[in-house]
Amino acid sequence: MVKWTDFECATIQDIFSKIDYDVVGPAALSRCLIVYPWTQRYFGGFGNLYKAAAITSNPKVAAHGKVVIAGLEKAVKNMDDIKTTYKDLSVLHSEKLQVDPDNFNLLADCLTVVVAGQMGAAFTPEGHAAFQKFLAVVVASLRKQYN
Amino acid sequence: MSLSAKDKKTVKTFWAKISSNGETIGADALSRMLVVYPQTKTYFSHWKDLSPGSAPVKKHGATVMAGVADAVAKIDDLTSGLLSLSELHAFTLRVDPSNFKILSHSILVVLAIMFPTDFTPEVHVAMDKFLAAVARALSEKYR
């Protein structure tokens, strides 16, 4: 059972209320595909991913970025039991998508960079720590059904 | 994952833009690291105050970024350029190398905060590669 302090709860709700999902989702996914190009292995059907500019303007990447952040919102809305909330998503990533779970951390790092860029100094060290803990719980929950 | 000529150029160009903020970047990155990854505090038990922006954190942040600046200047041969720093980390400080990744990530987050328009995905990948190369050079003498 993950224990969240009031500060952590409030911070996560606050961050997600402030960020523009339509910008952050696509930006985080495209940054991941650019900074960690081996992650492109999961997106063979997305067309042109050859250059950074192609990735950033790729409509399939943008659409999928929105899908990913919508998935994250489920965790934001169910912080008291992210593990159960993500059970089916974990099975999906393990059995159907067959994503190496170490990649979850790469996307999480890119999301942090994008959120930091959006929020600027408002992304304080303490807020950053809460966000990091949230992402760690999300990643652990996504890993849970792998075997 | 070695640095291409393009990576080196990107790093040098970006560094030229941001180097005057070195001390602030270092202080914020270190402050963040200690708060976001509390296990890193174990290396600084000799400091009185580990809170963000404290005097020892600021001073050490500046020291770390001076090392990064040195690495930019020696980007064509990091292994020999950072030899004495590697010996320091290996034999005296004995910092577990997994922490280099943690500090690198913290630096990247600070760069995103301070330079949102300049820290494009292309600059991000070059800087991430560069900091990873610096970490490798620092790990050289460990065993």
Burial B25-51 (b: 16+ CB within 10 A, else e): bbbbbbbbbbbbbeebeeeeeebeebe
Higher pLDDT, B61 or A147: B61
With both helix axes pointing from N to C terminus, report the angle between A6-18 and A125-143 in degrees, rounded to the nearest 10.
90
* Upper half-sphere CA count for residue A21 (Cβ side, 13 Å): 13
Q: How many CB atoms lie within 10 A of CB B99?
A: 17
Q: Which residues of B touch A113 (CB under 8 A)?
A: 108-109, 112, 119, 124
pLDDT in tens, chain A (147 residues): 799 999 999 999 999 999 999 999 999 999 999 999 999 999 999 999 989 999 999 999 999 999 999 999 999 999 999 999 999 999 999 999 999 999 999 999 999 999 999 999 999 999 999 999 999 999 999 999 998
**B114 Cα to chain A: minimum distance (Å):** 7
Q: Which residues of A touch B122 (CB under 8 A)?
A: 34, 52
Backbone angles phi, psi at B134, to 5 degrees: -60, -45
Query: What's the rounded Cα separation, in Å, for the pair A103 and A107?
Result: 6
Amino acid letter, residue A139: V
Searching chain A, which residue's CA lies closest to the CA of residue B34? A125
The answer to whether the Cβ–Cβ distance between B36 and A132 falls below 8 Å is yes
The answer to whether the Cβ–Cβ distance between B36 and A125 falls below 8 Å is yes
Instruction: Give the Å distances, CA to CA, from B64 to B7, B68, B87.
Output: 22, 6, 15
Q: What is the ipTM score, two decimals?
A: 0.83
The answer to whether the Cβ–Cβ distance between A125 and B124 falls below 8 Å is no
Searching chain A, which residue's CA lies closest to the CA of residue B108? A113
For residue B56 the two structure tokens come to: 């020892």
